[in-house]
Structure 1
Amino acid sequence: MKNKHTYYTPTGGLPPQSQLLSDRAIFTQAYAIIPKRVLTDIVTSYLPFWQKMRMWVIARPLSGFAETFSQYIVEVEPGGGSEKPELDDSAEAVLFVVAGEMELNIEGRRHTLQAGGYAYLPPKCQWTLTNNSEQTLKFHWIRKAYQYVDGLAAPEPFVTSDQDVAAVAMPDTDGVWQTTRFVEPSDMRHDMHVNIVTFQPGGVIPFDETHVMEHGLYVLEGKAVYHLNGEWVEVEAGDFMWLRAFCPQSCYAGGPGPFRYLLYKDVNRHMPFIRPQN
């Protein structure tokens, strides 16, 4: 199926010396905005056992910031990749391709993912990744320490795509607010969901959601105005938002085209206690 969607991808580089310093970047105790303009060459990172890659880290577990997940935007040049990409056996992951072509080998099975391609990788999964194409591969890599539950097996790995999963309209919205769910919400094996949310022009979240789930939102397409913890902020394709648990949040998508974002949230587990030290 032909992909009808577009996905913003950062290009790096450095702004000219003549550019204004101020931007929309903000870091608060309730939320943070990392605008696309700050994803430059000088803030890239690298990983062991990878070749011809670099990445932007847009979320990491940190006191006063993301607590449950990390998120990278990874670039892999032609011929690059890794035979040993994940070093933590507790980590589960979602890979979402935004540009180029990925050759993904999961437990001996080979998959080719293009823009819109989606892979879930459970903890202790054996996988490798290469870019055998002539174009740069770019993808999101979202990681979380999997929370095991006695009596529940960890999920199986799977591969799908944005094109192959039908979006579901939210109730009473006439289709202007839709969610593409890659995991069945009632599947208790999963402790995180990474979905795509789509608003047509004029669509809104018509109240300040205030809930326990932590969010990472990367804007894939379009623009909108968000109401976060009592403040209005504008976001557009290429921007990343971190929203702390219980941060009040609503939005208005003014157009002219669809507003879409990749959404992380932690789900389906008891709330851990902060226990006193002995």
Structure 2
Amino acid sequence: MVQIQKSFKEQTKYGTLYLVATPIGNLEDMTFRAIRTLKEVQLIAAEDTRQTRKLLTHFEISTRLVSYHEHNKQASGSELIRLLIEGQSIALVSDAGLPAVSDPGADLVADAVEQGIPVVPIPGANAALSALIISGLPTDRFMFTGFPPRDKKPLAEWLIRLQHQEGTLMLYESPHRLKKTLDAMLEHWGDRRIAMVRELTKRHEEAARGTISECLAFLEVNPPLGEYCLIVEGAASGAGDLANNGETWWGSLELEQHVAHYENGGLDRKEAIKKAAQDRGLPKRDVYNAVNR
């Protein structure tokens, strides 16, 4: 059954859940609509109440503030849903940018939608899209991938899953893991074009553009500072399946070599066999039997 929401038709049964964008650095990016909404709702749910309180103080907003984050989302989320059902309107905010993007707010939105509660976006700043549009890389097709895994093996598996994506890739990374992630990208994806964007909308906003290897050399002289948005060139059209001569990249490999390629990329034996089987359109059991005689 299709559920229809008329965002601007008067609601009488339930309150409304507003997803309010907040500045990612520069307070002037706060919209008039966002300020008005935060003043008019009965409650503001924030990821970090200390951070949000500074914002509310700056704009002289006195609305009641409560905590909603990854560690209390089950208990807090059910209470927020109860208040919305009772008719109270609530604004959800994250520390910076749009709530519910790589954020526990997505769970609250899903619960609200399931209950038939109106969910209304109050658009504003977003770090990933802001970095994308200044990157100089294609913007007609793109994919947001959040934060990469921290450990070596999960990171390798994550990169292998994404290596054939043709759209521009957008991800976040912390300064102390940046070099490790770029090294892994170079190993699994090759020397693609990339933009490393940091301190967006702040005084020290910076975009470093080049190939992955050039950016790694840049970081040797200029150590990473601040949180980064990485915008990475996607795979060339068809590059995931075909080599330069029009053959599949694995066409000249023996089955064992094909599996070894994925093992060298960081996958365990079981996952490497599964990937090779998918490439060749073979049953996984047949590949397993062939390489484990």
Give the TM-score normalised by structure 2.
Answer: 0.29
Q: Which has the higher strand share?
A: 1
Structure showing the higher helix proportion among its residues: 2
Q: TM-score, normalised by structure 1?
A: 0.31
